[in-house]
Amino acid sequence: MKKPRVLIVEDESAIAELIAVNLRHNGFDPVWAEDGAGAQRELDAVLPDVVLLDWMLPGQNGLTLARKWRSDARTKAVPILMLTARGDEPDKISGLDAGADDYITKPFSTQELMARIRAVLRRRAPEQAGEAVSIGDLNLDPVTHRVSWQGAPLKLGPTEFKLLNFLMRHPERVHSRAQLLDKVWGDHVFIEERTVDVHVKRLREALGIAGALVETVRGVGYRLTSEPHLQHLAVRET
Ligand code: CA
């Protein structure tokens, strides 16, 4: 099987090298570009399976590059994982708005980085409506309207079912409350964002132990993950 190609766009060679070593060790094929121009040359030559994009770059920054690649027919479907040293909510949201699939805040553990890369690769499979979906031991079947955890059936309300269906079909990705309202509830301008929190709480209660898969991303929103409670540490921006 061909090794997944990962384009690392990072101006700090020490960080890029550390990431590349870990990627190679985990069965990936890393390619390094130190700025937007170099990355563009790589993208024009061979489309990678994932782009790891540093936010702070000389010349065009990561945000500008993400927007550019998202609007280009050739690169718009390539998953982008943003690397950022910033922890501010508006920055995270603008990263996601610019078209990044996910972001990782430095410092991050290489373990977490590998998990996130595997996650974006997994969800490249096209979404097929009507098909059952599984995340770990959690299963959801939209046809029979059944949810189970390790084979045991779970009872969910209709809104919680729709919410879980959406989260399971877009796992490992952070969704803001506004995005969830839009995707799960539809165009209901009079529903407050707090409503999302209420239904997430109900969903977690209904899921029992599996409720841990629904993570709160502070200041941003929610994410369904198959690998909760990852440890942080290791890579620091200098
Ligand atoms: Ca940088």
- pLDDT at residue 199 above 90? yes
48 Cα–ligand 1 center, Å: 20
Residues 29-40: what's their mean pLDDT? 96
Using the predicted structure, report yes or no on whether residue 54 has a pLDDT greater than 80: yes
pLDDT value of position 126: 39
Q: How remote is the CA of residue 82 from the centroid of ligand 1, in Å?
A: 11
Neighbours of ion ligand 1 (CB under 5 A): 11, 54, 56
As a dihedral over the C-alpha atoms of residue 89, residue 92, residue 94, residue 97, rounded to 10 degrees, the angle is -120
Q: What does the pLDDT average to over 122-137?
A: 66
DSSP-based three-state secondary structure for 148: strand
Domain boundaries, the chain: 5-124, 133-237
Whether the predicted pLDDT of 125 surpasses 60: no
5-124: which CATH topology? Rossmann fold (3.40.50)
pLDDT in tens, 165-182: 999 989 989 999 988 987
Q: Are 19 and 110 in contact (CB under 8 A)?
A: yes
Compute, in angstroms, the gap from residue 9 CA to the centroid of ligand 1: 9
> What local confidence, expressed as pLDDT, does residue 98 receive?
81
37 Cα: distance to centroid of ligand 1 (angstroms):
15
Task: Note the pLDDT tens digit of each residue in 78-104.
Answer: 899 999 876 666 677 777 778 888 888
Q: Pairing between strand 152-154 and 146-149?
A: antiparallel
Give the pTM: 0.55
pLDDT of residue 191: 76
Tokens of 188: 């209901």
133-237: which CATH architecture? Orthogonal Bundle (1.10)
The closest alpha carbon to 161, from 178, 175, 148, belongs to 148
Q: What percent of the chain has pLDDT over 70?
A: 88
Q: How far is the CA of 65 from the centre of ligand 1 (A)?
A: 13
Ligand 1 geometric centre to CA of 57 (Å): 5
CA of 5 to the centre of ligand 1 (A): 21
pLDDT at 231 over 80: no
Kindly give the distance from the C-alpha atom of residue 54 to the centroid of ligand 1, in angstroms, as a whole number: 6
Residue 66 CB neighbours (<10 A)? 26
